[in-house]
Structures are given as C-alpha cells and as structure tokens.
Structure 1
Amino acid sequence: MRIYAKVKSIGKRKPVLELHPFDITSVDTLRQLITQIVKQNVKAFNEERTFTMYLLEEDIETAFEQGKVGFNYKYSDAKQAEQAAIDEALSAFEDGIYKVLHGDVELTKLDAPLHVQDGSIFTFIKLTMLSGRLW
C-alpha cells in the first residue's frame, strides 16, 4: 500500500509541502505507521552514498527556493540505530514536538485504531519551541 507524507515546520518562512511516498504494509495504529516510516528513513539514511561533489542548475534552483543551498555532505560515517530512532520519534510525538494529521483530522493517540487506505495523505507538523525575551 502506498501512502503519502507531507512535512511542515512552523518556523520555516517558505513551507515545503511536497508529497513523499511511502510503501507500507497494513497498519492498525499511528504507532505502527510512525514505526514503518522511521524504518524506511533510517534505511535510506544509512544506505545513502554521496559521491557527487557538484550541484546541477536545477538542484541549486530547488535549494534556493527552500532557503538553503549546500552539498548535504555527511561529515560522519556513523549509522543511525533503527530502534533508537523509532523510540525517539514515538517519544517526540508523545511530548508534543510534532503533530500528525490524517487528511484534515488530527491524530492524538498512538494506539487508537487507524484506518489507512491506499493513497492516504498524512501531514507531519514539527512545532517550533519559542525562546527569547519577554518584551
């Protein structure tokens, strides 16, 4: 089954809400959905091989629209631990660091029943912590 995820960070001036496809197996809860998405992202991160040391014109234009142009160079060869990443993602959801919407409905509980269909769209909204002076 293929679903789509959109990621939004409240603090960004130019929101990028591209649809990112994920192929998942059947899930019954938000916990299972987050777990599968994190596993795929960890696998992609750990297998990424950066060998191109130049940017194409379209890469520069896309990065410029997003607000940062760079090589996305990884300075460490360390691999991400899958279970640690899953635990972090679930803990961050429980702590209110990000919200998840299924269509227009906010999902508030990790273990509540979830009805996912092929082509469902989930929006992940990262909430920004505010700090600074009171005036």
Structure 2
Amino acid sequence: MAGGVVISVRAVGRRKPLLDDWSIPLPPEFREGGSPLTLRDLITRIVLEEVKKFRKRQDQRRLVYVLTAREIDEGLRRGKIDSGGRDLRQKVDDQDAVATALEAFEDGLYLVLLDGQELRELDREVHLQPDSQITFLRLVMLAGG
C-alpha cells in the first residue's frame, strides 16, 4: 500500500498470527523529510487508529443484516457467525488505550520489530518507508519465573 505500513501481530510459540495483517496510512508529517517519528509516536498512532476502527465496528454491529451463504460459511470457518443487532457498547478512552499500550511495551509484554529490526526505546527515532512492515510480537511469560 503506497503511503502506508503493514502491521502484523504475532505471539511467540504460535505458528499462526494472532490477527490478520492490516495496513494504516503513513501520515504526511512522518514521511521522508518530514517530522521525526519516535516509537512512542508510532505506537500512539497505531493505537488511536485501531480505537477508531473498533468504534466503527461497534456502530456497524448495531445494525441487523441478512447474511449471504458465503458470509455464513466464512463465519463457520472463523467459529462465529454474526448478523449484528447489538446495542451494548464498550467505552474505550483513547488516552487510556495509548497509556496501556505504552506501559505494556515498557513492561516487556511485547516487542516491536520494524522491517525485522527490534526497536527497544520508546523515544528513539524510527524511519518508516512506504513498504515498511511493523510486527508486534507478544511474549509469553513462563510460570514460576
């Protein structure tokens, strides 16, 4: 995707990704020659984008719609068939979501890889390319450690 980065979410010890890969647009101010971008900025941007998508999905699930045979088959494959009709809304505070994500990084609950290289410091500059790949790697804590 031109002007965007691909995001992957994986967990140590699992073959399959936790989520399907997705792309987010690379804001013009962070493109080459623009403002410097830190890992903190990048995580913040991704979390805010995902909160926005989550709210949109919640709004869409309030509607009841008729499923096609293909959508039913896809739901069976995923293990969940959903035709909407939910009024229950989860409230998500943008800044709380960002703070939680940053704290989890600082606590070592996940790693961030940019084009295969681990990023270790939240305030260090990162340089994104239009085809950059960001991987969030969830770490598994060992019992008794």
Q: Which has the larger radius of gyration?
A: 2
Give, in whole Å, the separation in 2 of the partners of 1:53 and 1:129: 42
Which residue matches 2:47? 38
Give, in whole Å, the separation in 1 of the partners of 2:81 and 2:104: 28
Which residue matches 2:74? 58
Native 8 Å contact 1:98 1:125 kept in 2? yes
Q: CA RMSD in A?
A: 2.5
Give, in whole Å, the separation in 2 of the partners of 1:101 and 1:115: 12
Cα displacement string for residues 74-117 of structure 1 (whole angstroms, at most 9, x for unaligned residues): 78412210000000000100100100001121000011111111
Structure 1 segments unaligned to the other structure (5+ residues): 64-68
1:66-81 to structure 2, matched below 5 A, reads: 69-71=79-81, 76-81=88-93
Give, in whole Å, the separation in 1 of the partners of 2:66 and 2:50: 23
Q: Which runs of 4+ in 1 moved over 3 A?
A: 51-55, 71-76
State the number of aligned residues.
126
State the identity %.
33
Give, in whole Å, the separation in 2 of the partners of 1:52 and 1:106: 43
Question: Normalised by the size of structure 2, how large is the TM-score?
Answer: 0.75
